[in-house]
A and B are shown apart, each in its own frame.
Chain A
């Protein structure tokens, strides 16, 4: 069981709330689309250089958005990606959070608001970024395995995009 799945099988007491957290953050009610939220998760995981999380959430984002190019562009440089100005502003906030919560400035938040971001969208972008600073450290801090084969992530991405994060893990082929 690669990545976070092996850890979750190891300690079910913490796995249950971890699964619920990722479900409510990325699949639950939010003014941000599922694709937008997965892009934030992918971008932060990529900044943290967490291969398993970046590859997995990148694959989920591709399945939600039906667009592989935009996911790759966001990983390389969100400013140059074909995403809304609002999402670009939220990505800048997410990158600040990845560096440290105190680096988020009033100006960053004002810019996001000027592009139409609501309080809840700003909240959700900050919390998704913060949560992936946890998930990434958990996965890499315990040196879990991250497969190289892109088809593995594509299977996970298609399954999670369709079924969410509370569905039982499916054997990988």
Chain B
């Protein structure tokens, strides 16, 4: 049960963002800018950072949703699985490996990021904006993960739910849908 009454028809973050739309709007806009806006990191790489940080925070809803988004963008599931296992030996570029190391530090604390971590990313070709965006995406998911789990928001089990959610966030983005969520409601599986 969530800590405040939220409709189970809108699991996870969606119900929270609908509950308080005034605070949701800037959170949605920031996510849209960071994960979908112009960037030299691909959308898949940015979703991978979101999935990795959410995984490290133990947030099942966000991890499953952003893993599904990364998998959809990459067209395969191996990269996200390997990154969540151990990014140091995952099949990603050396630059991504260095950025994921920074994201992992941010997940613990901003104060853990060292000048050496940033230098290592630069040596692999990361730009200032890429380093900035990696830190802010990691920090943003420290917000999301705490928001979803701190309110004990409903987290469905069925993979099909997350595949539909991934399709929505990949193809429609993160801003509130103009038509609302009446046609995007979760229904528990009938056995």
Contacts and interface: CB of A to CB of B under 8 A. Distances in A.
A124 to B, nearest CB: 8
A96 interface: yes
B115 A143 contact: yes
Contacts of A133: 139, 142-143, 146
Given A13-B33, A97-B146, A101-B147, A20 B139 contact: no
- The secondary structure that dominates the B interface is helix
Interface stretch (A23-31, A81-89, A150-158): A23-31
A104 interface: yes
A17 to B, nearest CB: 4
B109 A140 contact: yes
B30 A18 contact: yes
A138 B26 contact: no
B58 A137 contact: no
A141 B146 contact: no
A60 interface: no
A120 to B, nearest CB: 8
B107 to A, nearest CB: 8
Given A106-B3, A123-B20, A126-B146, A17 B109 contact: no
Nearest to A93: B150
Contacts of A135: 139
B178 interface: no
A109 B3 contact: yes
Given A18-B30, A21-B26, A123-B19, A137 B138 contact: yes
A100 B146 contact: yes
A102 B155 CA distance: 13
A43 B112 CA distance: 20
Contacts of B136: 11, 14, 138
Interface string B21-54: 0110111011001100100000000000000000
B172 interface: no
Given A100-B146, A126-B151, A129-B146, A139 B110 contact: yes
Given A102-B149, A129-B150, A130-B146, A137 B27 contact: no
B135 A142 contact: yes
Contacts of B1: 106
B147 A13 contact: no
A102 to B, nearest CB: 5
B82 interface: no
11 contacts: A24-B23, A50-B111, A97-B150, A101-B57, A123-B151, A126-B3, A129-B146, A130-B146, A131-B143, A137-B135, A139-B110
